[in-house]
Amino acid sequence: MSFHTGPDRLFVEVSQPSDSIEVWQPYDHLHSSEASLSPPHTRVACRIFFKHSRQFIDCLPDGSTNFLGSAPASRQQRSCSFDLCSFLKELIPSHVTLWENLSSLGIDGEAVHGLIQHIYLQGREVLASKRDSNMGQRVIPLHVEISKVQLVWVHYDRYLAHRAMMESMEEFERRNYGMVPASESSLKRMLKRVRVVGDEESDGGNKESKKKRRSESENCSICLEEVEVGSYGTSMPCSHVFHGDCIVKWLKQSHYCPVCRYEMPTN
């Protein structure tokens, strides 16, 4: 099942792991009359596996698209427990629990709503199909696998330059000391939050330098996505600007600026 949300695609799969009975012991036999109540309040222990991958796409002058490549996928996991009863009632605790977990994975609000409905509906179907083996268990495990495929529009030249930059960075570090992270204190001290200014906000005072800054900061060199005008980016002492999350993640692996190899202090 897939959801389309803007340029991103979400794929969702709900299943009950087959090793459930071993894993989810002790399984508690309910009184037979209780077990036959229908529909039961089914409590599920839900594991959410989230895979986020990014695909780089170029738009050609004739309007067709060209797949350039993909970035390594990131994976996250969440666990939560809730009642798989009626999801139609608004703001029931189960709903809130799922909402919080899905939102914390960076899934946007509009998509989260559809996802929750889908998890409830598919979850109930899955559990119903295993009714016999689930009978008597108080907590039933449920796996929710969500795959987010994000399309990143980027010019072919820029994509090639990005790949070359990443490869030469790896090579450079291999020849030197390997990957050495920047010190934690230097991140706090030397990274600055800056607001990305668009052309229309230039005051005319120093047009040249502002234009330059705009063209340098419109894409983050690490993820190739836009640092939106009006939003905040993070500037290194060499004045290269990135998304805050991107550069912090980067500097926890490498203490060099990915663009100019400005060297941050290490421990």
User: Burial code of 143-175, b = ≥16 C-beta within 10 A, e = fewer?
Assistant: bbebbbbbebebeeeebeebeeeeeebeeebee
Q: How far is the CB of 78 from Zn ion (least distance, A)?
A: 23
Residue 208 CB-density burial (10 A; 0-12 exposed, 13-18 middle, 19+ buried): exposed
Q: How far is the CB of 225 from Zn ion (least distance, A)?
A: 5
End-to-end Cα separation, the chain, in angstroms: 47
Residue 5 sits at φ, ψ, to 5 deg, of -130, 105
Token pair 């797949």 in the structure block, residue: 67
Interacting residues toward Zn ion by CB under 5 A: 220, 222-223, 238, 240, 243, 246, 257, 259-260, 262
Tell me the C-alpha distance between 153 and 67, whole Å: 10
Q: How far is the CB of 47 from Zn ion (least distance, A)?
A: 29
Q: Cβ closer to Zn ion: 122 or 239?
A: 239
Q: How far is the CB of 34 from Zn ion (least distance, A)?
A: 53
The CA-CA-CA angle for residues 213, 219, 222, to 5°, reads: 120
Handedness of CA 103, 108, 109, 111 (dihedral sign): negative
Q: How far is the CB of 119 from Zn ion (least distance, A)?
A: 30
Q: Cβ closer to Zn ion: 16 or 150?
A: 150
Q: Cβ closer to Zn ion: 53 or 202?
A: 53
> Which tokens hold the place of 67?
């797949």
